[in-house]
Amino acid sequence: MKFDPATNIQNLRQFGEFGDVNPSITDSATFTFMEGSSMSGTFQGETEGCFLYSRHWNPSNKYLADAMAAMEGTEAGWVTGSGMAAITCSLLHCCKAGDHIVSSMTTYGGAFAFMKNWLPQMNVEVTFVNINDLDAVKKAMRPNTKVIYTETMTNPMLQISDLPELSKIAHQNGAKLLVDNTFTPMIVSPARLGADIVIYSMTKFVNGKNDCVAGAICSTNETINGMIDLNDGTAMLLGPVLDPFRSSSILKNLHTLHIRMKQHGANAMYLAERFKEVGLAFNYPGMPEHKGYNLLKSMMNEGYGFGGMIAIDLKTVENANRVMELMQKRDVGYLAVSLGYFKTLFSNSGKSTSSEIPEDVQKEMGLSEGLIRFSVGLDNDIEHTWQIIKSCLKETGNI
C-alpha cells in the first residue's frame, strides 16, 4: 500500500480508558507505582508502558507524539511546548562544543538567530549557505560537521530543499539531516526522503487554530529516547514539555489536517493563477515557473496540493503596508505573523518574521523589503476574496 500520512493517522487505534473515542486527558504531573522496584526500573528506562513524571512522558503527549510519528512514518515522536523548543533541543542533541553545522541561509528567523547568535557562544560554529547550491553545501562540510539544517519549503522565500541529495551529503560526511517541515505537513514526508530528524512548529498548520504554541520532533526510537534520557537528554533536561490539555486539543485538530491542507493549497493555487494573470511578481511553488516546482513534485505525497504559502513582491515597505492595511480593512484576513490559520494572514517578512536576519543577508537571499507573505486561509469563496485583493492592489496602483 502506498504511504499516506492522513491514512496513517486515521488508522491509529487510540482510545480513552472508558472507551472514549477521544483518548482521555491525563491531568497529572506524577504517577503512582504499585511496587518500589518498578519505580526504580522506570528511572533506569526499563519499564515499558510505565509513566513516571510528565516532563518525561505524559499519556496525552504520547498519543499526540505517536500520531505525529505515524504521519511522518518514523519510529517515534516527542512533543514540545513550542516549535523553537523542537529546533533547539534537536540541534543541541546533535552538537556539542567544537562541532559544526551547515544551515540554509533562509530559515525561520528564530532558528537563524539561534544558530547565528546563540550557538557560537557554546562554541558550535554554523556556516550558512544557499541550500539550493549543492556544491556550496558539499564545500561547507567539515570533518566536525554534525548537522545539515534546512526547511522543506524555506521561510519566507519558499525555496524547495532537495532532501534526498542533502541527506546523501550529510550521511557521506557522518552528519545528520534535520528538516523543519512546518510549511508542508503531509505534502512532504522528509523522513521518507532521508531526513534523520523532522521538526514541526505545530503552532501553524498542524494545529491550525492559532490558539496555542507547540512543537514536535519525529525520528528514530534511538534519537527520541536519547533526547528524553534522564541523565543527558536535551528535551528532558531543558524541559520544554507540552501541556497535556494542549496535546489533547492538537490531536483532535490533527485529524482534519489533510482536509485543511487541500483547501489551503487549492485557494493558494487559485490566487497564484490570478496574480499571474494580472502580471504581479509572485512566488508559489505550485506554479511550473517556480524554480523548485519539479523538485517539489518529485518529493511530494499526491493529493495534498502545494501548500498554503504564497508571496508577492510590492517592492517597498510603504507600498506593502498600504496594501496590507487595506486588505485587513476589507476583511481579506489579518495583518499578523504566523501561518496555517483558517483565516488568511499576511505580513511583511523583512520587518517581521525575518527581522532577525540582518538587512545585508536579507538582500543576499533575495528577500525584497516589499515582500508580503500570505498564509492563505480556508475561504469557501476564494473568487470573492480575490476580487477584494484585486481592488486593494488597483487602488494602490500595483496593478
Residue 162 or 180: which CB sits closer to ligand PLP?
A: 180
Residue 182 or 348: which CB sits closer to ligand PLP?
A: 182
Binding mask 85-124 for ligand PLP (x = CB under 6 A): -----------------------x-xx-------------
Residue 23 or 215: which CB sits closer to ligand PLP?
A: 215
Residue 82 or 234: which CB sits closer to ligand PLP?
A: 82
Q: Report the residue from 4, 66, 151, 162 that binds ligand PLP according to the rule CB under 6 A.
A: 151
CB of 338 to ligand PLP, least distance (A): 7
- Per CB under 6 A, which region of 79-87, 277-285, 301-309, 310-318 contacts ligand PLP? 79-87
β-partners of residue 375 are 309, 345
- Per CB under 6 A, which region of 66-74, 180-188, 321-329, 382-390 contacts ligand PLP? 180-188
- Rounded CA gap, 378 and 386, in Å? 13
- Rounded CA gap, 200 and 326, in Å? 32
Q: Report the residue from 84, 175, 296, 332 that binds ligand PLP according to the rule CB under 6 A.
A: 84
Residue 180 found at the interface with ligand PLP (CB under 6 A): yes
Q: Report the residue from 197, 213, 299, 365 that binds ligand PLP according to the rule CB under 6 A.
A: 213
Residue 66 or 151: which CB sits closer to ligand PLP?
A: 151
Residue 176 found at the interface with ligand PLP (CB under 6 A): no
Residue 189 or 319: which CB sits closer to ligand PLP?
A: 189
Q: Spell out where the chain has E strands.
A: 76-80, 100-104, 125-129, 145-151, 176-180, 197-201, 215-219, 282-283, 309-313, 333-335, 344-348, 371-375
- Rounded CA gap, 250 and 77, in Å? 15
CB of 276 to ligand PLP, least distance (A): 26
Q: Report the residue from 56, 93, 204, 262 that binds ligand PLP according to the rule CB under 6 A.
A: 204
Cell of 173: 560526511
The closest residue (CB) to ligand PLP is 83
Q: Report the residue from 26, 74, 155, 167 that binds ligand PLP according to the rule CB under 6 A.
A: 155
What is the residue whose three cell numbers read 507524539? 65
How far does Cα 77 stand from its chain's mean position?
14
Q: Lay out the sheet containing 344-348: strands in order across.
A: 282-283, 309-313, 371-375, 344-348, 333-335
Residue 203 found at the interface with ligand PLP (CB under 6 A): yes
CB of 182 to ligand PLP, least distance (A): 4
Instruction: List, in order, residues 6 or more apart from 275 with CB less than 8 Å away.
Output: 282, 284, 310, 312
- Rounded CA gap, 253 and 239, in Å? 25
Residue 42 or 181: which CB sits closer to ligand PLP?
A: 181
Q: How many CA atoms lie within 13 A of 24 on its CB side?
A: 8
- Rounded CA gap, 7 and 390, in Å? 38
- Rounded CA gap, 130 and 361, in Å? 11
Residue 201 found at the interface with ligand PLP (CB under 6 A): yes
For residue 164, give the amino acid letter. Answer: P
Residue 56 or 246: which CB sits closer to ligand PLP?
A: 246
Residue 42 or 189: which CB sits closer to ligand PLP?
A: 189
First to last CA, the chain: 48
β-partners of residue 198 are 179, 218
Q: Which of 293, 78, 306, 298 is nearest to 183 (CA)?
A: 306
CB of 305 to ligand PLP, least distance (A): 18
CA angle 39, 41, 47 (to 5 degrees): 100
Tell me whether strands 215-219 and 100-104 are parallel, antiparallel or unpaired.
Answer: unpaired
- Per CB under 6 A, which region of 71-79, 116-124, 196-204, 321-329 contacts ligand PLP? 196-204
Residue ranges in contact with ligand PLP by CB under 6 A: 82-84, 108, 110-111, 151, 155, 180, 182-183, 201, 203-204, 213, 215
